[in-house]
Structure 1
Amino acid sequence: MTANKALLTNLRTLHKSGAVSFPDGTTQSVTLIGDVILHPKITLRNLLYIPAFKHNLLSIGRLLDRERLLIQFSMGKCVIQGLVSDFSMILGSREGGLYKYRGVCADSVVKTLFSSNKPQCANVEKDVVSSSHVLSLDNKRLLDLFHARLGHTSLVKMKHINELHCSELQSFFL
């Protein structure tokens, strides 16, 4: 469910309106549903539109029932990887115990890294790795670091990053 109408595509009226109960005891009526495209290969269907709601809620169980995915939660982010189709994406970052959806960030993470000094959704800060640590890494460990920082992008895709871009990536982590 979401309060952000801009996230929804294929917005439609429910044939029979319903209500959602919240932990504080209040209820909200639901009259509209829509779809959210998380990634070109993942569309969440029939999400409830609730204008008074404060968060975007996603049922991980429902998502796993519909798609063949691996979902990993860490201290700072939630990463989704396709098991059949080859993709990975960072779903959101953790704030106050909740993992918050920040918008689509998928294979485009690489493009985001190349086009800005601070990606919007990769949650990689320049001070995560000290420059002396990056410079002392051998090639395999550097590749492993990039693999992790790029949302565990497959090595098949990473081999298409040319040396010029690798040097840009390295300077990004310094």
Structure 2
Amino acid sequence: MNNNNNKEITIPATYYNKWELEAALQRVPVHGLKSFIKMKEDRYIDNINNDNDSDNGGGADSIYANKELNKLSNAGTAAALAYFHNMHPVQRTCILARLDLLELKEIKDKGSELFFHYLDHFYKKLKNDMKDLRIKKETMLLYNFDYKDATNFYYSYIKK
């Protein structure tokens, strides 16, 4: 769909990676993953279109994603889910915490009203996961998650 009023974009691959991880955590069966990803694509497109509607006073500049370029192969999806399900819980927790922190930084840059709610939820969940799984800060560094950076980020906004 490429006419004068609409721009065509692709959904960034990082969103698909996060959605696959989210599906794995929610234990979405392999045969249901396609529907799960479709639902996430639709929400993403709706959010973009709603942002444009409020910015432009109308949907004149709506953005539609080119889903053909974003299709996941069933074999690749099944392999990713199998890998993620078999991953050590500490590694999985660190990966998701790193992705959540990146997303929080994006939300902060956009100036979302829910930023503090998400920030508080993120930090409480991180502390609970560390307690439940008995994860040390040094162990998190092995899995490319800097706990000190996350804590500094949290306290820099909570103290304000």
Output the TM-score relative to the length of structure 1: 0.28
Larger Rg over CA atoms: 1
Structure (1/2) with the larger strand percentage: 1
Report the TM-score when normalising by structure 2: 0.29
Asked which structure has the greater RCO (Cα within 8 Å, sep 6+), the reply is 2
